[in-house]
Structure 1
């Protein structure tokens, strides 16, 4: 049985608002973030889910509970938290200023100082960008392409085991992780260049097939378009 997967990006957080790098580090949802999520929750309130899951980071957990509480047609028990669906890990850059971080990563690619992440990725490609992030990280802890690719595949595998008897599920994850899933599993991505970053509270829909194959079929859909 194939499983329809609704991937929701968490709401806006304090670090999003302050333009700080936010991967495995966490910060609380803002008032705007909560208000925006209410629109997403309302748009999904009549969609039946067999289960809901979440990344194990608090901003995602808070988001999934908003989805759960607003849903009128699903009976969801305890939320299972999945660390495999955490945000991309940025190592020593966690909590730093975003523009300064991208300048350092850009220098590591050899293209010189550039603080626009989209321009960097479109010049060197997403894979080289991941390698440069690890290279620029003083402790070399940031996830590179291989590490992130292995985690994405593990995430899909874990979800496949959990949802064998579930037709439709919702899982709250994170912007860069969802975007990287789309680069890998969405047929409208060429797998090399950047694609638009998903909005806070947006929904990306995937299909997890019986044979374990995963594909993205809708990307970055906002509440008003559902």
Structure 2
């Protein structure tokens, strides 16, 4: 059975609003974040899901419960939390100012693009950006490309096992993780720079096939376009 996966990015959080690095660290959803999610939840209220899943971070868990409570056509039991679908880990930079973090990574990589992360990544490529992030991290805890790739593969394998008898599921995850997953599994992607960062509350759809193959078929749709 092929399983359709609705990947939802969590709503805006306090750290998003305060321009702070937010990977494995957590902060609560804002009022705007909740309001945006309610629009997404209403747009999906008549979509039948066999199950709903979430990253194990609180902002994702709060988001999936908003989706569950608004849905009128699905019978969802206990939400299963999947740590493999956490956000990218930024190590010692967690909770720091985003602009200062990007500037430090650019300095470590030896380029002069300051705080514009898009230009930094376009110059370095995503793999070298991940390596520069790990190198710039004083404790070298940040995930590099290999570590993140391995975690994504484990996540897809685990999801495949869990959803073998499910036709459609919803899974709440995180912006950088969803974007990186899309770069890896979307045929329309030719690299980092043609894909915008997914919006809070947006929906990205994928297909998980019988043989375990995963592909992205639709990216970063907002409530009005669902």
Task: Give the TM interval when normalised to the shorter protein.
Answer: over 0.9
Give the direction of change, closer, same or farther, for the CA distance of 1:115–1:31 in structure 2 (3 Å limit).
Answer: same
The C-alpha deviation readout for 1:32-87, integer Å capped at 9, x for no partner, is 00000000000000000000000000000000000000000000000000000000
Aligned partners of 2:82, 2:224: CA distance in 1, in Å?
Answer: 28
Q: Contact 1:104/1:113 (CA < 8 Å) preserved in 2?
A: no
Question: What residue in structure 1 maps to residue 40 of structure 2?
Answer: 40
Q: Match for residue 125 of structure 1?
A: 125
How far apart, CA to CA, are the structure 2 residues paired with 1:187 and 1:121? 20
Match of 1:30 in 2: 30
Listed as ranges, the gaps of 5+ residues in structure 1 are none
Cα offsets for 1:159-209 (capped at 9, x unmatched): 000000000000000000000000100111124546210000000000000
Q: Which residue of 2 aligns with 1:15?
A: 15
Tell me which residue corresponds to 1:152.
Answer: 152
Q: What are the within-5 Å matches in structure 2 for residues 1-226 of structure 1?
A: 1-191=1-191, 193=193, 195-226=195-226
- Flag as ranges the 4+ runs of structure 1 deviating above 3 A: 191-194
TM-score norm. by structure 2 comes to 0.98
Q: Is the 8 A contact 1:53 1:171 kept in 2?
A: yes
Mapped to 2, the partners of 1:190 and 1:129 lie a distance apart of 17
* Structure 2: gaps of 5 or more residues: none
What number of residue pairs does the alignment pair up?
226
Q: CA 1:67–1:36 in 2, change beyond 3 Å: closer, same or farther? A: same
